[in-house]
Structure 1
Amino acid sequence: MNRTASPSKPALAVAALLAAGVVACAEPAAQQSSNTPVAASSAPAPSSSAPPDPAAVGANELGQVPVLMYHRLVAQPSSVYDRTPEAFRAELERLVAEDYVPVTTLEYATGRIEIPAGKHPVVLTFDDGDPTQFALDASGQPAPGTAVAILLDVAAKHPGFRPVASMYVNAAPFGSADGSGVLPWLRDHGFEIGNHTQYHTNLSSVSAEEAQRAITEGQREIQRAVPDYPVKSLALPFGAIPRDPVLAMRGGADGMSYDYACVLLVGSNPAPSPFAADFDPLNTPRIRSQDATGEDAAFGSAVWLDKLAANPAQRYTSDGVPDRISYPSTAGVVPAPQHAARAVAY
């Protein structure tokens, strides 16, 4: 049941129209080899000297953030949602070269984007809990060739590129019976575990009661494997929003409740800054990872990363000061009222 059916073009169009811009907060992970556990550690602290000049680093903390969406890694893709391990590694290397730093969905959605001045946040999200994304070998380490192992390897070669991602799972995540043998490793190594419903339910096609039950069953499945784990975001199966959209974020069934910080759509375009007035945690767009050609390539990561590279003033660029929100007065974007007191235009 944890195999995602490819969303239709109409679903992508709906996601694009709804786009307004994501699980336990993960601290940055220490850089080690892909065969060595990576322990969570604190983000680099700003220098004790004068804070960076926002203009000098081109800070724009009201800029756009790419939230990238991945599914399977396979040698022979059979769907536009598949990527080869080589293509995944190449995309990570591109992100390194273009000064992106991974943050988790929750860090993004709650504005805990504590990355160095001049760097750009990127959110890596994985749907369906597929074994090609993550598995443990006989020694208890990420299996070679899986997405997590590749991410750890790239991060080890490029200190500062945080090996964190948000993993959205269904029943029997990563090919395990119940997740107890794999989800604790993710939790302990700074990865975020998010809800994708237990049986990949199309939430727009069921009643309000059934939608809430599908979401709570997914959360219960996670928390059986990692008790008391604070699941804080949902990736919508098929990008399908419940008939009452608020139920994607808050609700409950069978004695369990949920209250999420962010709800992820399927894919279309970059997300807004969490500090911007147009940020909507209930409708957070993602970008499907794919090459510059193929089905709906205009919605894919290669095209969007090209656009952001060609228009750097549009993307989120950190000022290196966690408690300050810097942006150019010419950005054409305004801060949300709740963030206005910390926002500084230059």
Structure 2
Amino acid sequence: MHANELGEVPVLMYHRIIDAPSSVYDRTPADFRAELERLAAEGYVPVTATDYVTGHLDIPAGTHPVVLTFDDGSATQLALDGTGQPVPGCAVRILLDVAAAHPGFRPVATFYVFNPPFEEPTGRTTLNWLHAHGFEIGDHTLDHANLRAASPAEVQHQLAGMQRIITDAVPGVAVRTMALPLGAYPRARNLAVDGAADGVTYHFDGVMLVGANPAPSPFSTDFDPSAVPRIRSQASAGEEAAFGSTAWLDRLAANPDLRYTSDGDPQRISAPRTAPQQPAPSVTDRVYRY
């Protein structure tokens, strides 16, 4: 399989994993497991949102990065039993089980939480479990706020306040990416990246949008870390299914030259000469065209 490290990367967006979906944003545990099994079978390797936006894509040759993101911190994503293990049926348990069955499919994901995380008053137990097991924790504001309707002071209070809750729960953790509630930027877009409130300063390497299309390679001129498109996890039928994960994964499978395929060397960026994407000026000295 030819490498193309200027190709597209699916950044998948999940919300509740629930037996009886009531929204286009919900998936059943069976559907979620089936999507992960498909990703594993098609050679995708999960990476964190920070790995993606910073270009740290150290995955085996011939494989493709995928970013699994979870919004809102639902207990259907992570709940722990009396022994401190994820309960059957929650998203993390399913991800761990699929990874155990498919060597090379990493149990890695990024969780964008608001207050309280995973319906736990402080979030301390669940957030520490995630951090200890290699998952990323991101900011989704204190109250799932519509940042477009908020004043600059409130935008910063929402983002800095949630960062404080995360870092109070997990001392020393770096909160490096955020997801925009409702996909809405603040009127001053820079405040989605940098700001300060109540004695807390924040800076995000990446800002996640709501469901759309595959994201560009972090090495291409199309890449904007402050506006990362995500694909809503969704079956092939139903409202807006043409924009959901099944449709986009079908498209990438049918057109493998479009997707990011690793050359196995994290220091080199390989792409065919015919690839339409252009490398960003900052990485041209690492590019190998064939």
Give the Cα separation in 2 of the matches to 1:294 and 1:84. Answer: 14
Q: How does 1:15-26 map to 2 (within 5 A)?
A: none
SS at match of 1:126: strand
Q: Give the TM-score normalised by structure 2.
A: 0.99
Deviation (angstroms), 1:207: 1.1
Deviation at 1:160, TM superposition (A): 0.4
Letter in 2 for 1:166: T
Residue by residue over 1:201-256, the C-alpha shift from the partner in whole angstroms, topping out at 9 and shown as x without a partner, is 11000111111111101111111110121100000000000101111011111111
Q: Which residue of 2 aligns with 1:71?
A: 15
What secondary structure is seen at the aligned counterpart in 1 of 2:125?
A: coil
Read off the aligned partner of 1:93 and give its amino acid letter. Answer: E
User: What does the per-residue CA deviation read over 1:77-107, in whole Å, with 9 as the maximum and x for residues that have no partner?
Assistant: 1000000000000000000111000000000
Q: Which residue matches 2:116? A: 172
Corresponding residue number in structure 2 for 1:266: 210
Q: Gaps (5+ residues) in structure 1?
A: 1-56
Answering whether residue 59 of structure 2 is matched by residue 131 of structure 1, we say no
Residue 188 (str. 1) matches residue 132 (str. 2)? yes
Pick aligned residue for 2:54 from 90, 102, 110: 110
**Cα distance in 1 between the residues matched to 2:22 and 2:167:** 33
Q: Which amino acid aligns with 1:70?
A: Y
Return the alpha-carbon distance in structure 2 between the equivalents of residues 324 and 133 of structure 1: 36
TM (norm. structure 1) is 0.83
Is 1:151 the counterpart of 2:86? The answer is no
Shift of 1:271: 0.2
Corresponding position of 1:239: 183
Shift of 1:172: 1.3
For 1:186 and 1:314, locate their aligned partners in 2 and report how far apart those are by CA, in whole Å.
33
Question: 1:62 maps to what in 2?
Answer: 6
| Partners of 1:283 and 1:111 in 2: CA distance | 15
How many Å apart are 1:148 and its aligned residue?
0.2
Counterpart of 1:120, as a letter, is: H
Which of 157, 161, 172 is the aligned partner of 1:228? 172
- Residue type at the aligned position of 1:318: S
Rounded to whole Å, the distance in 2 between the matches of 1:276 and 1:119 is 18
| Superposition deviation, residue 190 in structure 1 | 0.4
Aligned residues: 290
- AA paired with 2:117? P
Aligned to 2:161: 217
Secondary structure in structure 1 of the residue aligned to 2:270: strand
- The correspondence of residues 239-258 of structure 1 with structure 2, limited to 5 A, is 239-258=183-202
Equivalent of 2:34 in 83, 86, 90 = 90
Q: Which residue of 2 aligns with 1:163?
A: 107
1:294 equivalent in alignment to 2:241: no
**1:143 alignment partner AA:** V
Gap runs ≥5 in structure 2: none
Q: Does 1:330 align with 2:285?
A: no
CA distance in 2, matches of 1:65, 1:204: 27
Moved more, 169-178 or 145-154: 169-178
TM-superposition CA deviations, 1:250-281 (whole Å, max 9, x none): 11111111111100000110000000011001
1:305 and 2:249 aligned: yes
For the residues of structure 2 that align with 1:182 and 1:76, how far apart are their CA atoms? 24
Q: Give, as a single letter, the amino acid of the residue that structure 2 aligns with 1:111.
A: G
Looking at structure 1, the residues matched to 145 and 116 of structure 2 have their Cα atoms a distance apart, in angstroms, of 15
Counterpart CA distance in 1 for 2:172 and 2:149 is 30
Greater strand content = 2
| 1:130 counterpart letter in structure 2 | S
